[in-house]
């Protein structure tokens, strides 16, 4: 799997606001889902890319981790096949 990076694209004279999700395997741009807010907007774009690439066809329910990029440049989504366990006594 690959990390998915999302970013907001502002409106232009001809197009409304959009969210773009990109990874090495491809990208997708979706109209801004105004019914959502915050991370959920970016998650919608990331999951649209997951469906486009067929990564949702593996017969299991994946667990996705999400984190923001500096200066609110967007978000990163990473598939975690095994939930992280704290193996250190910190």
What is the domain count for the chain? 1
Residue 59 backbone class (left: φ over 0; alpha: ψ -120 to 50; beta: rest)? left
The answer to the question of residue 86 being in a domain is: no
Segment (H or E) for 41: helix 39-53
For residues 6 and 50, the answer to whether their CB atoms sit within 8 Å is no
Cβ neighbours of 79 (radius 10 Å): 15
pTM over 0.85: no
Within-domain flag for 90: no
Is 61 inside any structural domain?
A: yes
Residue 10 counted as domain residue: yes
Per run of 10 residues, the mean pLDDT along the chain (length 90 residues) is 90 96 96 93 93 77 80 81 54
Provide the residue range defining the domain that includes 48. Answer: 4-80
Q: Is residue 49 part of a domain?
A: yes
Residue 87 lies in a domain: no
Domain-embedded: residue 35: yes
Within a domain: 75: yes
Q: What pLDDT sits at residue 80?
A: 72
Specify the pLDDT at position 90: 47
Beta strands 63-68 and 4-9 are unpaired
């Amino acid at each position: 799997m690959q990390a998915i990076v999302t970013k907001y694209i502002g409106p232009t004279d001809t197009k409304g606001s959009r969210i773009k999700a990109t990874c090495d395997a491809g990208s997708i741009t979706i109209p801004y889902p105004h019914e959502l807010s915050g991370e959920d907007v970016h998650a919608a774009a990331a999951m649209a890319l997951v469906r486009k690439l067929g990564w949702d066809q593996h017969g299991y329910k994946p667990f996705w981790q999400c984190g923001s990029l500096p200066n609110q440049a967007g978000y990163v989504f990473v598939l975690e096949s095994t939930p992280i366990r704290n193996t250190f006594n910190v």
